[in-house]
Amino acid sequence: MINKCAAFLLSLVIAIPAFSAQHVAVHPRPPVDSGDQATIREIIDMERQAREASIRRDADFSARTLADDFVGITPLGQVTTKQDNVSARKSRQLRYDTIDVTDMVVRVYGDTAVVTARADVKGHQLGEDFSGPYRYTRVWVRKTGHWQAVSYQATVTQ
């Protein structure tokens, strides 16, 4: 049972970085300057690409977009690395049928962006269903002109 939970959580951490904005929530906040608006559009696009990469099982996307020191935290508190994520995608034992992301909020702090969102997922790993609703936070950092995910945390919701 613990191995099934560990496999499920690893698969969730791998997939959720792939979620993109299908619905972006609008929350009252101070005016955003045009530079931040452009950055928000870039991050929303990175989230879209990550979602598509998860559905296609694209390990190269994770290799390109996760920072070498990336740290992911599963819903059960397990820590995962960039290599864990890339390996799990390469194994092809993880399958996402759908990933529906809503309530996305992107906040920009210079060369750092923080994404929070809800993701409704349908998928399987090693034949085990891990479908359900989640909330996640991902931190992106712009390094040498390219966005990389440095941190990710997911929580199962009801």
The pair of three-digit structure tokens given for residue 39, joined into one six-digit string: 């950055």
Phi, psi (degrees; rounded to nearest 5) at 110: 70, -120
Spatial distance between the Cα atoms of 73 and 61, rounded to a whole number of angstroms? 19
Query: Which helix (H) or strand (E) segment is 45 a member of?
Result: helix 34-56
Supply the mean pLDDT for the chain.
Answer: 84
The pair of three-digit structure tokens given for residue 106, joined into one six-digit string: 């992107």
* pLDDT digits 0-9 by tens, 4-21: 444 444 444 444 444 434
Considering the entire predicted model, what is its pTM?
A: 0.79
Q: What is the CATH number of the domain that holds 23?
A: 3.10.450.50
* pLDDT digits 0-9 by tens, 17-34: 444 344 454 454 555 677
Q: How far is CA 98 from the centre of its chain?
A: 14
The pair of three-digit structure tokens given for residue 26, joined into one six-digit string: 């609008």
Which domain covers residue 10, as residue numbers? 2-156
The total number of structural domains that make up the chain: 1
